[in-house]
């Protein structure tokens, strides 16, 4: 199969051979050669050559093409969802929701561009002032496996609207969606060379980072994001927009309906098999009977979750992205247990193999050491505390800051939590994994570099230019000037 897409043409990659194995079925979903360093350089050169005409195009024309792309995405909804399912095991209803989000991104991005990175003219005594925005240039987009369509699309659409050109490196764990995106761009009439794809793993990514690019738009792990940040140290001319996940807390504090609290916690922790960067990793509850009842409810829901392959009926949770990820999740749980944590419901590998695991709940209140790491899987760590102030302290005891939540009927506690929780997304009586495309997505700490995406992606897709304009040159009344 094809390893590169350059200037509207598919070509076999010249790099290492790799295959993508579906973690649910064990079938090969993609196979081919990665792009070689030379092919990556060619993709960047092609994007560079396409840049002048694309950025000079009228804004209305770029918007028209992106609207047409949205319609092409909409008509490929089932194909997109199936590719996502077969690559990374996501259940069908979840994958269809991802395809819908890709379509919904278009109008949101157009609105955000005009609101946050548009043009403005104001009168001044000498004439007028003008605000305009300009594209950065060639943008390298690194896609994650968990939302292989929606998350790169959330970078690509705002960047293209602003006049940038793109080289996309899909995750090697979910490479198939990118071809459907390319087909949709072709159907929309996107000029050749504006959108390019290089398939592959570490070597392909390294070649892209070392190429003649103007920016990196990345969603992925803390480890990779920090590597990119170090790679471009001392190069402020490179735009870096890094989203690197979180170790997200959910405080549950005595709402009247403890079943609703358990529902919110279970969905926060186990949605998309725990493979959303905004999933709750830590549940913080008061000591006593109310907390006991909610924890029991979460465990009951973990036991009841239907787990299976994407095309089976009434499935809530599919596999983790790979067998290696399943092994890593069980090892993480084992390390907690060795440190004194108490397993309430074990995350264990299922007999059907692959990436399939059960949902787990573990009480880490008395553990000697709990790593401040993002486990990308369905394991919820439980902390029991005496006071609400202690709950806030535990919630903020993390290097990350992406998402947090409070389940509570008390408005005063909510106001306190909203003020104190150090996270970019703070929800009340809603799952932590619920994010709105009308709002920014990102957070402080190791969750990113203060370049939030979603509605705020317009901010990192273009740079502002301020102008003072007079119709004619006129003498300036200044002390010391002759005449």
Instruction: Give catalytic residues, as residue numbers.
Output: 243, 277
Of the CA atoms within 13 Å of residue 223, those in its CB half-sphere come to: 3
Task: Compute the distance between CA of residue 135 and CA of residue 405 in angstroms, rounded to an integer.
Answer: 36
End-to-end CA distance of the chain: 75
Task: Compute the distance between CA of residue 229 and CA of residue 110 in angstroms, rounded to an integer.
Answer: 29
CA–chain centroid gap for 167, Å, is: 17
The answer to whether 426 and 443 have CB atoms below 8 angstroms apart is no
Task: Compute the distance between CA of residue 238 and CA of residue 137 in angstroms, rounded to an integer.
Answer: 10
Q: Where do runs of H (alpha helix) occur along 374-428?
A: 388-395, 411-420
Task: Compute the distance between CA of residue 476 and CA of residue 483 in angstroms, rounded to an integer.
Answer: 11
Task: Compute the distance between CA of residue 283 and CA of residue 130 in angstroms, rounded to an integer.
Answer: 49
Q: What would the two tokens of residue 304 be?
A: 């009841």
Q: What would the two tokens of residue 3 be?
A: 């390893």
| CA-based R_g, the chain, Å | 24
Query: Minimal CA–CA distance to 246: which of 82, 422, 70, 370?
Result: 422
The answer to whether 382 and 283 have CB atoms below 8 angstroms apart is yes
Of the CA atoms within 13 Å of residue 62, those in its CB half-sphere come to: 24
The answer to whether 467 and 437 have CB atoms below 8 angstroms apart is no
Query: Minimal CA–CA distance to 182: which of 138, 132, 141?
Result: 141
Task: Compute the distance between CA of residue 431 and CA of residue 406 in angstroms, rounded to an integer.
Answer: 9
User: If you search the block for the tokens 């987009």, which residue do you land on?
Assistant: 141
What are φ and ψ of residue 438, in 5° steps? -85, -5
User: Across the strands, what pairs with 330?
Assistant: none
| Segments of 346-386 assigned E as strands | 360-363, 379-385
Query: Minimal CA–CA distance to 247: which of 143, 357, 399?
Result: 399
What are φ and ψ of residue 207, in 5° steps? -65, -35
Task: Compute the distance between CA of residue 119 and CA of residue 467 in angstroms, rounded to an integer.
Answer: 11
């Amino acid at each position: 199969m094809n390893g590169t897409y350059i200037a509207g043409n598919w070509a076999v990659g010249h790099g290492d051979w790799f295959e993508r194995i579906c973690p649910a079925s064990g079938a090969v979903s993609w196979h081919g050669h990665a792009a070689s360093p030379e092919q990556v350089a060619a993709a960047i050169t092609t994007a560079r050559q396409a840049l002048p005409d694309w950025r000079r195009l009228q804004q209305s024309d770029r918007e028209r093409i992106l609207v047409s792309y949205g319609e092409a995405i909409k008509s490929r909804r089932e194909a997109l969802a199936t590719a996502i399912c077969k690559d990374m095991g996501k259940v069908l209803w979840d994958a269809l929701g991802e395809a819908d989000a890709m379509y919904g991104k278009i109008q949101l991005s157009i609105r955000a561009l005009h609101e946050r990175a548009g043009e403005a003219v104001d009168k001044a005594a000498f004439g007028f002032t003008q605000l305009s925005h300009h594209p950065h240039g060639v943008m390298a987009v690194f896609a994650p496996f968990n939302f292989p369509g929606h998350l790169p699309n959330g970078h690509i659409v705002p960047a293209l609207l602003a006049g940038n050109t793109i080289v996309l490196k899909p995750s090697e764990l979910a490479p198939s969606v990118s071809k459907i995106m390319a087909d949709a761009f072709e159907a929309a009439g996107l000029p050749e060379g504006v959108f390019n794809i290089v398939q592959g793993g570490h070597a392909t990514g390294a070649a892209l980072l070392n190429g003649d690019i103007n920016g990196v738009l990345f969603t992925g792990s803390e480890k990779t994001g920090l590597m990119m940040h170090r790679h471009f140290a001392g190069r402020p001319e490179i735009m870096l927009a890094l989203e690197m996940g979180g170790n997200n807390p959910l405080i549950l504090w005595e709402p009247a309906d403890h079943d609703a609290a358990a529902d919110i916690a279970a969905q926060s922790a186990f949605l998309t098999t725990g493979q959303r960067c905004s999933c709750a990793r830590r549940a913080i509850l008061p000591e006593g009977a109310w907390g006991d009842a909610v924890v029991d409810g979460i465990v009951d829901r973990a036991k009841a979750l239907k787990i299976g392959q994407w095309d089976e009926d009434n499935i809530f949770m599919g596999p983790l992205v790979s067998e290696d990820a399943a092994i890593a999740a069980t090892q993480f749980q084992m390390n907690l247990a060795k440190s004194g944590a108490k397993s309430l419901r074990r995350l264990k590998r299922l007999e059907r193999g692959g990436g399939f695991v059960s949902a787990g709940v573990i009480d880490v209140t008395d553990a000697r050491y709990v790593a401040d790491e993002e486990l990308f899987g369905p394991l919820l760590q439980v902390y029991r505390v005496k006071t609400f102030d202690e709950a806030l302290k535990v919630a903020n005891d993390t290097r990350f800051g992406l998402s947090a939540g409070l389940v509570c009927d008390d408005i005063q506690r909510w106001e306190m939590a909203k003020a104190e929780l150090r996270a970019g997304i703070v929800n009340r009586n809603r799952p932590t994994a619920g994010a709105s495309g009308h709002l920014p997505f990102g957070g402080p700490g190791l969750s990113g570099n203060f370049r939030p995406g979603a509605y705020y992606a317009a901010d990192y897709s273009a740079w502002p230019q301020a102008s003072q304009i007079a119709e004619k040159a006129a003498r300036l009344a200044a002390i010391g000037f002759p005449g």
